[in-house]
Amino acid sequence: MSFPDIVPALAARLPDLRGRLSANQALADVTWFRVGGPAQVLFIPADAADLAYVLANVPSDLPVTVIGLGSNLLVRDGGIPGIVIRLGRGFAQTTVESGHRIRAGAAVPDAKLARAAADAGIAGLAFYRGIPGAIGGALRMNAGAHGRETKDALIEAQAVDRRGTLHRLALSDMAMTYRHSGVPDDWIFTEALYQGSPGDPAAILKEMQEVADYREAHQPIKERTGGSTFKNPPGHSAWKLIDAAGCRGLRVGGAKVSEMHCNFLINDANATAEDIERLGETIRARVKADSGQTLTWEIVRLGVPLDGRPTGEALV
């Protein structure tokens, strides 16, 4: 499937553009599941000012979607209409500041931030070694691991809204809760500032290695997966509910529930995005029937299906 090419019309409206616009760019190449259709337009901005310029000057009714490293993401088989924004090198820097603080662009991989903090003797961010993806996604969903969450270390973040206005947000402005940020969905994070504490680099690196070893032993990180699929319902573990409902190893088409950790779905046989979403919805239905608990997707599902195909609960 491909979309009408609107890049020439957009370029005409953006004479001062410094980033790159590409029509019908494949997204399966950049998502960890390796599935999904194209972006109608993929935009890689040069920096925050370039991002703000484009958002301020494209038609207000044109859909805008932002993706990160593609780790916790399922792009549907029909692709994503409108502009898909992927932050690149202009958002991939870390800077150590006084007072055991570290600033990171939204495209910095979480593990890279953990390493930069360790090298600077800044403790308190080693948990990021266990989170796939980049800082922008961590801010959006208050990502966490090993007993800590983004909000436990965050001081402030910066974001650009749909009109191209830059906002500086204190932690108290962001209404962060479990796997959720209260920042408007159409705001795009550009950077974050974190507070750590004094630490010994060797000890921090040892802690990071323990986090990495735990992941390798308990999660299918070498598979084509999107990470943790469902949020934990209050008072419950999603994987235990899935296991109790008999879903460990369950398969739909080329998609399968991991036998190592059954809150992970894997693409192990040329799955389609529909296979993966149908498997997830089948799990939700079985868990609801077995325990009465409703699982909520943690993986973000974006885009449209192939013509005439269902999505969501209609898949079951």
Beta strands at 94-97 and 101-105: parallel, antiparallel or unpaired: antiparallel
Residue 75 CA to residue 231 CA, distance in Å, equals: 19
> One of 149, 207, 277, 298 is an active-site residue; which one?
298
Nearest alpha-carbon partner for 132 in 249, 299, 250, 279: 299
- Cβ atoms of 25 and 39 within 8 Å: the answer is yes
298 among known catalytic residues? yes
> One of 71, 181, 228, 258 is an active-site residue; which one?
228
Amino acid symbol at 106: A
Residue 247 CA to residue 265 CA, distance in Å, equals: 11
Q: Residue 222: enclosing H or E segment and its boundaries?
A: none
Question: Which position has the token pair 């491909």?
Answer: 2
> One of 86, 179, 278, 284 is an active-site residue; which one?
179
- Cβ atoms of 286 and 255 within 8 Å: the answer is no
281 among known catalytic residues? no
Active site residues: 179, 228, 298
